[in-house]
Structure 1
Amino acid sequence: MLAHHPQQLAAWHRGAGISAAQFYQDVAKLAAQLPEAGEVVNLCEDRYHFAVSFAAAIVRQQVTLMPSNNTPGAVNSLLIKSRDGYCLTDQLQQGIQARQLLYTELLNARNSDSIALPEQIEADRQVAILYTSGSTGTPKPNPKSWGELKAEADSALQRFPFLSRSVSSLVATVPAQHMYGLATSIFFPWQGGIAVHTGRPLFPADIAADLALTSAPRVLITTPLHLRACLDAGISWPEISFIISATAPLSRELAAEAEQQLQTEIYEIYGSTETGSIASRRTLKDECWTLYDGIEMEQQGNQTYASGGHLPHPVVLNDNIEILTSGRFRLLGRNNDMLKIAGKRASLGDLNQKLLAIPGVIDGVFIPPENPNNEKQRLSALVVAPSLSKQEVLHQLAQSIDAAFLPRPLHFVESLPRNSTGKLPREQLINFLKAIK
């Protein structure tokens, strides 16, 4: 299951190391305590608890369900269809109707036996079902096999300089209950012999402190939103070998500022819940993306398909893509983000990038009309920019976008309703907008 040797560190917890041998011991003990079931929702916030629970479920041949968010409603909607499903958590949550089992109680049970661990896991064993974020529609299930997740991690370890720089530690600001977090903070460390920090720091000072508690060379897994906050914090940072960002486009301006201030390299991952990560770029050096070895793209009509590599079958991508040569492509925006107002066209993603590029804008988003075919409707926008006025933001936008796409209205807010991975599900965004009108 792990690429680590027994005494090698597999995790960092409050500055202390946890060996691979201890990990295996905890997995064996927890697996013996799990109930007979086919499915489990892993709600553990501590990343080590999550990893042990995920591994124990695999040992017991239970499939881990990962809802688009960990709210009681989302969890209940999954488990209500399950005959014997349950939740494994490190903190009981109100509102969840299924039975909840506490990680620490199971692991420390007095009658705690252990179960023999398998020497290997079948590549085609289904170990998880992940659900889409809901930012483009109703969440849909995406089953993942052990072999698919392992092969994705192996490809990423070859693409990024994990091995060439002998990376020993990894800190992530994203939850493990998501495709990006599951791959980068669980499977990358498992397959790369890397010790992952057990926390999920959100604030810059906490991120810096957790990084400092791990051994170098270290890597940070994060999002553009967290990266922006880190740069604005004005604090000192420990050495970071490189940073990987995903969940939202990263502007060249932000990448340049981050590389200079943090004295590191910034890479982006391209992928989705359906595909996992399939391409990357170093944002400051290249606007185009390069596919992982073995991954191919082809276009049929208006749709682009990804296939090969760790993908068990071709997957339709939700993005507008220009395929180049040598496994490279240019990302032109999402298929559903082209706007037409007053006979003019613009990409919603491009508008958001221009808004976020304004000095003084901490966060912001354009909100398209609910009926995209009605050219008479205007765009709205939400912006977090405490040092700017509405007129200043509109003036800056007018320098780079057509007047037809200037937001009317433009709302100033304290923060945006982003989820734990930094995304803005459309339904939640619309409800937020209605509440402030």
Structure 2
Amino acid sequence: MPPDLLTSRDVTEIICHRDGEAVTVGRFLAQAATLAARLPEHGQAVNICADRYAALVGFAAALWRGHPTLLGARPGAATQAEGAYLLADAPQPDATLPVVLVDLACGPGTFAPPAIPADRIAAIAFTSGSTGAPTAHPKPWGSLVQGAAAAAARFGLRAQDGSPASLVATVPPQHMYGFETTLMLPLHAAVAIHAGASFFPGDVLAALEAVPPRRILITTPLHLRVLLAEGRRPPDLLAVISATAPLSREMAGAVERDWGAPMLEIYGATEAGSMASRRSATEDTWLPYEGITIRPGLAEIPGLGAVTLSDAVEPVGEGRFRLLGRVADLVKLGGKRASLADLNRVLATVPGVQDGVFLAPRDLERNPAARLAAIVVAPGRSATEILGALRGRLDPAFLPRRLEMVDELPRDSLGKLPRAALARLVQEEP
């Protein structure tokens, strides 16, 4: 397989909007080359840059030097990786690994993008470990480039599709979803990222105001819920894209109604990356990206081959499929089956429920007396009221025997819920 360039874009194109300045691809290449020359001869990068552009330069420099970047690695996993070092945009006085500061210095001259062998491992993505120990998944450069090209074609982000799009993201570049959309797309699609942190509603709205039109918001259901509750309409958007957790049709409809932008959703997994998309307000089924085939238990990914899926899918014709939920989330009670994801969606429709999740006990398969639990955030509502509302919406077999009312769920920055943290809330062994 022939090599792919670090970036396929012209040096005059804009790759980032940072502190009111438009950064060109040419300047980016000079900064990445300058940083690459400062990196150790061998190693693996743990990129912790908070500034998204610094993270992009750090990733490119590590790749230029021949080093993979570890994505989503917990501190323990990172310190055990051979030759691991930190790429940071601020001093790290308590670091246990060597630190290289990404200072965005720029050496003299111009730099052409290097050719990267397609089979070189550019990144190693670790699963979140929400249901167990994190697992490493190597990502060959050629597969990442093909994935970026497929996403650009699906979302109209190629040069022939119009003026460059501006991407504002609430997700960190260290997560596979944020990495694919805000580090890989700028290298191989007609987009420019916004560099600053955009997590709180005010930050997100300010960032969208600061970038040129054809704006796209890259976000999650957790962040969308907060943004919609804020009640302020953002500037005109080309689209809103969500991933990391199922998005309800009600929330998707609210985005399209209140913001006047198509609400698009990505289906993906750490093991395989982004694989399919849908318009969530109007579509229940998913359409795989060009070149990707998805069937029960398996996905065929260009550059990766056959990847085992953790989700149950149902083909519905014309290449499309319906997502039934994670295989591990399918539960059987009283001879009936349900997915925890579907139960969570029903719980979210109960008036007053701001957040909530069903939890299956560890012994559900072997203990005939075992039943589901639920943990709910619903200020002003009682557990009795929530349970009463669920009786009209769920089969009795799936009603929670235990319903814990809490102030908030222990979600991480992407909205994920570690199993161990949930188990502690219901005093269950993790």
Equivalent runs, 1:293-304 vs 2, <5 Å: 293-299=290-296, 304=297
Whole-angstrom CA distance in 1 between matches of 2:21 and 2:384: 51
* Pairing 1:395–2:424 present: no
1:365: how far off? 1.0
Equivalent runs, 1:256-335 vs 2, <5 Å: 256-299=253-296, 304-308=297-301, 310-335=302-327
Whole-angstrom CA distance in 2 between matches of 1:117 and 1:412: 58
1:67: how far off? 3.2
Residue of structure 2 in register with 1:71 after alignment:
none
1:257: how far off? 1.0
Secondary structure at the aligned position of 1:383 is classed as strand
Secondary structure at the aligned position of 1:388 is classed as coil
Contact persistence 1:129–1:142 (CA under 8 A): yes
Residue of structure 2 in register with 1:33 after alignment:
38
* Pairing 1:77–2:74 present: no
Equivalent runs, 1:403-418 vs 2, <5 Å: 403-418=396-411
Q: Counterpart amino acid of 2:352?
A: G
Residue of structure 2 in register with 1:428 after alignment:
421
| Shift in alpha-carbon separation, 1:43–1:400, aligned structure 2, 3 A | same
1:185: how far off? 1.0
- Bigger Cα displacement from structure 2, 209-218 vs 369-378: 369-378
Whole-angstrom CA distance in 2 between matches of 1:134 and 1:56: 28
- Bigger Cα displacement from structure 2, 169-178 vs 352-361: 352-361
Whole-angstrom CA distance in 1 between matches of 2:321 and 2:41: 46
Unaligned runs of 5+ in 2: 1-5
Whole-angstrom CA distance in 1 between matches of 2:423 and 2:231: 34
* Pairing 1:21–2:26 present: yes
Unaligned runs of 5+ in 1: 69-73
| Shift in alpha-carbon separation, 1:162–1:5, aligned structure 2, 3 A | same
* Pairing 1:158–2:153 present: yes
Secondary structure at the aligned position of 2:356 is classed as strand
Secondary structure at the aligned position of 2:261 is classed as coil
Q: Name the Cα RMSD after superposition.
A: 2.2
Whole-angstrom CA distance in 1 between matches of 2:292 and 2:321: 12
TM-score by length of 1: 0.90
| Shift in alpha-carbon separation, 1:387–1:195, aligned structure 2, 3 A | farther
Contact persistence 1:32–1:115 (CA under 8 A): no
Residue of structure 2 in register with 1:356 after alignment:
348
Residue of structure 1 in register with 2:200 after alignment:
203
Contact persistence 1:125–1:146 (CA under 8 A): yes
1:312: how far off? 2.0
1:119: how far off? 3.5
Secondary structure at the aligned position of 1:419 is classed as coil
1:209: how far off? 1.1
Contact persistence 1:42–1:53 (CA under 8 A): yes
Whole-angstrom CA distance in 2 between matches of 1:182 and 1:28: 20
| Shift in alpha-carbon separation, 1:224–1:269, aligned structure 2, 3 A | same
Contact persistence 1:63–1:129 (CA under 8 A): yes
1:391: how far off? 3.0
1:214: how far off? 0.5
| Shift in alpha-carbon separation, 1:96–1:355, aligned structure 2, 3 A | farther
TM-score by length of 2: 0.91
Whole-angstrom CA distance in 2 between matches of 1:343 and 1:297: 29
Whole-angstrom CA distance in 1 between matches of 2:25 and 2:248: 38
Whole-angstrom CA distance in 1 between matches of 2:417 and 2:298: 25
Whole-angstrom CA distance in 2 between matches of 1:387 and 1:15: 44
